Amino acid sequence: MKGTIAAVVVMTGYAWVSAGVAPFTTLSYFLVTIPCVAIVVAFVLLGGLSRGHQEVSAYYLRNAGGASTLSVAPWIALLTAAVVLESVGLILGGRSPSVPTLSTTVDHLLAYRWERCLICLAWLLVGVAPLHGLRLSRVRGSLS
Amino acid sequence: MNATAIWLALLVVGALIEVLGRLRPTRVSSLGRALSMMAQRTSGRAILILLWVFVGFHLFARYTVPHG
């Protein structure tokens, strides 16, 4: 529990620093690259990208809880609608005021540093979540 | 109608699907279960990681603060 709290505090600090850096600078790319490399390397070390680790697939099979193509159909429909809307926005030039792309819409949420910090923290947590799950699963002995 | 409203509507629909997925798990999958289904294959996990990396660079290294 203490480790989890410490990790969240560190990630919050990192998100705050990242949120204060101007975009399109070397430092902004560097600050995004660090967690990307760290998390991808950790995921690979846990066997997340190895075809030989059947246990990893079994872990996700358990988490899927019997999900089928039919039960995920609403998500596929939602994704399709988003892709269509994004395509229309891109065809209209990407910055059309009537049909903005998703990134143009999201840019409005990135105007203030605290907003960028919160979204960056959420992004980091999403990246760390599978590592946490795989590691816990391994600790519990489900993975060998 | 401004398409920003459609993006918001899609967000609301996504939230409703998530709620349905938790209330009726046998009929609708929650987002976590749907992603886990995708992650059962190595290629699915690789795609999810690439998507996560793309989102990070796009949002935090290449954002544009709108004017006006």
Q: Note the ipTM here.
A: 0.87
Residue B32 lies in a domain: yes
pLDDT of residue A93: 78
Q: How many domains does chain A have?
A: 1
Instruction: State the Cα angle at B25 between B23 and B26, rounded to 5°.
Output: 130
- Tell me the one-letter amino acid at B59: L
pLDDT of residue A98: 76
pLDDT of residue A143: 47
Residue B65 lies in a domain: no
From the CA of B22, how many Å to the nearest CA of chain A? 12
Contact A63 B31 (CB under 8 A): no
pLDDT of residue B1: 54
Query: Residue A57's domain spans which residues?
Result: 2-139
From the CA of B6, how many Å to the nearest CA of chain A? 8
**B39 to each of A44, A67, B31, B33, how far by Cα in Å?**
14, 12, 12, 10
A14 near B CB under 8 A: no
Model confidence at A113: pLDDT above 50 = yes
How many percent of chain A have pLDDT more than 70? 96
Q: Please indicate whether residue B30 or residue A104 has the higher confidence score (pLDDT).
A: B30
Residue B68 lies in a domain: no
The whole-angstrom separation of Cα B65 and Cα B67 is 7
Residue A40 lies in a domain: yes
Residue B67 lies in a domain: no
Q: How do residues B8-37 score in pLDDT, each as one tens digit?
A: 899 999 999 999 999 999 999 999 999 999
Q: How do residues A23-77 score in pLDDT, each as one tens digit?
A: 999 999 999 999 999 999 999 999 888 877 778 888 899 989 888 999 999 999 9
Q: How many domains does chain B have?
A: 1
Q: Please indicate whether residue B18 or residue A101 has the higher confidence score (pLDDT).
A: B18
Residue B22 lies in a domain: yes
Which tokens go with A35? 């967690």
Residue B10 lies in a domain: yes
Residue A144 lies in a domain: no
Model confidence at A95: pLDDT above 80 = no
Residue A48 lies in a domain: yes
**B59 to each of A25, A140, B39, B52, how far by Cα in Å?**
13, 36, 23, 11
Contact B31 A75 (CB under 8 A): yes
Residue B28 lies in a domain: yes
How many percent of chain B have pLDDT more than 90? 66
Query: Residue B18's domain spans which residues?
Result: 3-60
Per-position b or e across B35-46, b if 16+ CB within 10 A of its CB: bbbbbbebebbe
Residue B8 lies in a domain: yes
From the CA of A23, how many Å to the nearest CA of chain B? 5
Q: Which long-range contacts (CB under 8 A, 24 or more apart) does B3-12 make?
A: B3/A85, B3/A88, B3/A89, B3/A98, B3/A99, B3/A100, B4/A100, B4/A105, B6/A85, B7/A85, B7/A100, B7/A102, B7/A105, B10/A78, B10/A81, B10/A82, B10/A85
